[in-house]
Amino acid sequence: MDSKQKQAEKARPYGLLKPTALGKIPGRFLLHQEALPHLPVPPLQQTMDRYLLTLQPIISEEELNHTQELVAEFRKPGGVGERLQKGLERRAKKTENWLSDWWLKTAYLEYRLPVVVHSSPGVVLPKQDFQDRQGQLRFAAKLIEGILDFKTMIDNETLPVEYMGGKPLCMNQYYQILSSCRIPGPKRDSIVNYAKGKKQSRHITVVHNFQFFELDVYNSDGSPLTTDQIFIQLEKIWNTSLQTNKEPIGILTTNHRNSWAKAYNNLLKDKTNKESVRTIEKSICTVCLDAPMPRVSEDIYKSRVAAQMLHGGGSRWNSGNRWFDKTLQFIIAEDGSCGLVYEHAPSEGPPIVALLDHIVEYTKKPELVRSPMIPLPMPKKLRFNITPEIKNDIEKAKQNLNIMVEDLDVKVMVFHQFGKAFPKSEKISPDAFIQLALQLAYYRMYGHACPTYESASLRMFRLGRTDTIRSASIESLKFVQSMDSPDKSVRISEKWHERTPAHMLNLTWLYNLLSETTYLCRTCLNSNLLVPKEEQLQNIPSFTSFCFIKCRSTRKAGRKLRTCRHLELFVRCSSHCSCSTNTAPFLILFNFLLTAVLCRPVPSVM
């Protein structure tokens, strides 16, 4: 890698913050919300047809025939399917978005595994030049000022409206990412949001050496603190939290959600603890000043810092220096590494990426405003009374987290062979190119297609979030099978255009690809009034068949790829490879994916 490439890599966040295809137009970004269309409910017959198409590449002919019989019974006029469909349509008329509430509850709040690793993404930002405490605190101060600048745009509704394909997108998620927090519950969690209302949050939470502080980031006149002011306050926090023997109260948030809910209720029985927890929950965000990790080589460092952003390294290192239920946690270490871990329930990635892009650019700006020479109050240290029961909860959380950290392999990899320019030159969507390479890798390993999906945005609809494109299809299966055909000299672009036009058309008509079968099932679960007892979920074969369960048990291989992007790995065709130059890119990427996604050595199968 030459000096220009190194400089370019250093100047941008590691792979996640990439230029977006979204257009942005200045304006008051909530004014268009009412004009956004409601999410449509696809017709039942179309849903059933697509369901059968989804199953074709992943089940046997016998299983498909049996499923067709179940579907025929389900879709009969006046039958269960029609009644559930009408219930879904009634829900759509009464709500702003018939899907969003179910999506939030099912995908996130009812999910009982720990948010750490399982659902909270980690993001690595460009490594900074500092190697000491002063540099760490100075950068943290500038980063906090950048957060407040972005918050001002949200509060004043001056954030540019995002457009895709000439159509405005729902901007509601931008109101969910600041001053919000997840609250554990015994069966379902909840989200609290203090961004709206007369009394908005004026403070952030700062964590150092497992000790939590409330830092007010606004002057008495309502203006945000400057970098110099924030730096002074951070120094005060640092100097009053030098002890390293404190109980890592934050590690409780890493536990299984049911266990954490029980510990949470125990914790809040004490008045002091309750006040401290509420202060954290109400804060704009959390800033974690991490202890340095042992020095390692550059290649190992990239994987190490990715793990740090995901989970903090375990109880021995920085995992207790977090409150993982907080939506936004910015992490800055003494060695110049920095990034973010965010709780996924309130928002998808794009608003987070927009915030991070703004912050990264903001930290490069020189400090122009002279700080007013006025004394600032001492940041408030948040106190916790640790009872023997809470101490026991902390020890259990430590053990569980350390097992999870030890069980997780994180290897950051960078693919240098080619970029998105190649598939674009062949008139292929880069996203679809990666998807088929993943399917090819899986097919080569196991000899059959797998149920897989790709996330797709629904923000063109009011309160839209994401849903799934069922990307395994007969066309994609034939495509990966053709890669093992005796004639490998056929141009890859010819195979692509022959095999995937239907898939690309489905990508365009996104709203027709809603997983409505799942939500017909959800309608049945949530409204016993819609159908008689004998027609509830457990008594409907269409919702209990093996094929329906298999269809929903998707593998999202791309999720693993998010944390495996930045280790340099060069995988080339071997000298005896017989593939043509047009098929080589697919096979090179396939080999890379076998190593990155499946964590196995690259086999000689090209």
* pLDDT tens-digit series, residues 244-292: 778 999 999 999 999 999 999 999 999 999 999 999 999 999 999 998 8
Contact 513/50 with Cβ under 8 angstroms? Answer: yes
Mean pLDDT of 135-163: 92
> What letter represents residue 496's amino acid?
W
Q: Rounded distance, CA 229 to CA 374, Å?
A: 9
Residue 39 has pLDDT above 80, yes or no: yes
C-alpha distance across the termini of the chain, in Å: 26
pLDDT band at 584 (very low <50, low <70, confident <90, very high): very low
- Using a pLDDT cut of 90, give the percent of the chain over it: 41
What does the pLDDT read at residue 142? 95
The answer on pLDDT for 28 being more than 70 is: no
Q: Could you give the count of Cα atoms lying within 13 Å of 208 in the half-sphere of its Cβ?
A: 25
Active-site annotation holds for 503: no
Average pLDDT score over the chain? 78
Q: How buried is residue 490: exposed, middle or buried, by Cβ count under 10 Å (0-12/13-18/19+)?
A: middle
Quick one: pLDDT band at residue 494, thresholds 50, 70, 90?
low
Please give the Cα distance from 226 to 24 (Å, whole number). 28
Q: Over 60: is that where the pLDDT of 101 sits?
A: yes
Torsion of CA 457, 459, 462, 468, to 10 degrees: 0
Dist CA 399 CA 542 (whole Å): 42
As given in the structure block, the two tokens for residue 194 are 């203090």
Confidence of residue 5 (pLDDT cuts 50, 70, 90): very low
Element (H, E) at 123: strand 122-124
pLDDT score for 387: 95
The pLDDT of residue 397 is 96
Instruction: Yes or no: say if 321 and 207 are a contact pair by the CB < 8 Å rule.
Output: yes
As a whole-number percent, the residues of the chain with pLDDT over 70 amount to 74
pLDDT at 555 over 60: no
- How far apart are alpha carbons 538 and 526 in whole angstroms? 13
**Distant-in-sequence, close-in-space partners of 347: CB < 8 Å, separation ≥ 6:** 173, 176, 177, 327
Write the pLDDT tens digit of every residue in 421-463.
887 887 777 878 888 888 888 888 888 888 887 888 899 999 9
- Tell me what pLDDT residue 509 has: 36
> Which is catalytic among the residues 344, 503, 566, 576?
344
Q: In this model, does residue 187 exceed pLDDT 60?
A: yes
Residue 166 has a pLDDT of 86
| pLDDT higher than 70, residue 486 | no
Highest mean pLDDT among 5-19, 119-133, 487-501, 519-533: 119-133
Average pLDDT over residues 211-227: 93
> Does CATH number 3.30.559.70 belong to domain 119-407?
yes
579, pLDDT greater than 70:
no
- pLDDT tens digits, 361-410: 999 988 766 666 688 999 999 999 999 999 999 999 999 999 999 998 88
Provide mean pLDDT across the span 573-580: 28
Cα–Cα distance, 541 to 522 (Å, whole number): 15
Least confident of 18-32, 92-106, 335-349, 541-555: 541-555
**CA 277, CA 326: separation in Å to the nearest integer?**
11
51-60, 314-323, 551-560, 567-576: the lowest-pLDDT one: 567-576
Considering just the CA atoms, what is the radius of gyration of the chain in Å? Answer: 26
Which pLDDT belongs to residue 4? 43
- CATH 3.30.559.70 range(s) for the chain read 119-407
Residue 106 has pLDDT above 90, yes or no: no
Q: Check if the beta carbon of residue 174 is closer than 8 Å to that of residue 358.
A: no
Instruction: Give the span between the Cα atoms of 192 and 106, in whole angstroms.
Output: 17
The pLDDT, as a whole number, for residue 369 is 63
CA angle 20, 136, 381 (to 5 degrees): 105
| Torsion angle, alpha carbons of 180, 209, 564, 294, to 10 | 170
How far is Cα 367 from Cα 407, in angstroms, rounded to an integer?
44
Q: Domain 45-105+413-596: give its CATH superfamily.
A: Chloramphenicol acetyltransferase-like domain (3.30.559.10)
* Phi, psi of 162, rounded to the nearest 5 degrees: -90, 140
Pairing mode, strands 286-290 and 203-208: parallel
Hey, what are 60's tokens? 């046997």
CA–CA gap between residue 154 and residue 539 (Å, rounded): 48
pLDDT at 523: 45
Give the confidence band of 32 by pLDDT, cuts at 50, 70, 90.
confident
**pLDDT band for position 497 (cuts 50, 70, 90):** low
The bridge status of strand 328-333 relative to strand 286-290 is parallel
| Percent helix, strand and coil across the chain, each to the nearest 5 | 45, 10, 45
Among 546, 519, 525, 475, which Cα is nearest to 67's? 546
Mean pLDDT highest for which of 245-249, 550-554, 588-592? Answer: 245-249
CA distances to 172, 437, 562 from 572, rounded to whole Å, are 45, 16, 22
Which stretches within 95-242 are classed as H helix?
100-103, 133-155, 227-239
Residue 49 has pLDDT above 50, yes or no: yes
pLDDT given for residue 476 in this prediction: 84
Task: Specify whether the CB–CB gap between 207 and 286 falls below 8 A.
Answer: yes
**pLDDT: is 349 or 19 the higher one?**
349
Residue ranges, comma separated, of all CATH 3.30.559.10 domains in the chain are 45-105+413-596
Going from the C-alpha of 130 to that of each of 136, 139, 272, 580, the distances in angstroms are 7, 9, 37, 48
Q: Which residue has the higher pLDDT, 12 or 222?
A: 222
* Closest by CA position to 256, among listed 390, 115, 407: 115
For the record, the structure tokens of 342 come out as 């965010």
DSSP calls for 448-506? S---BEEEEE-TTSTT--EEEEE---HHHHHHHHHTTSS-TTS-HHHHHHHH-HHHHHH
For residue 563, what pLDDT band results from cuts at 50, 70 and 90?
very low
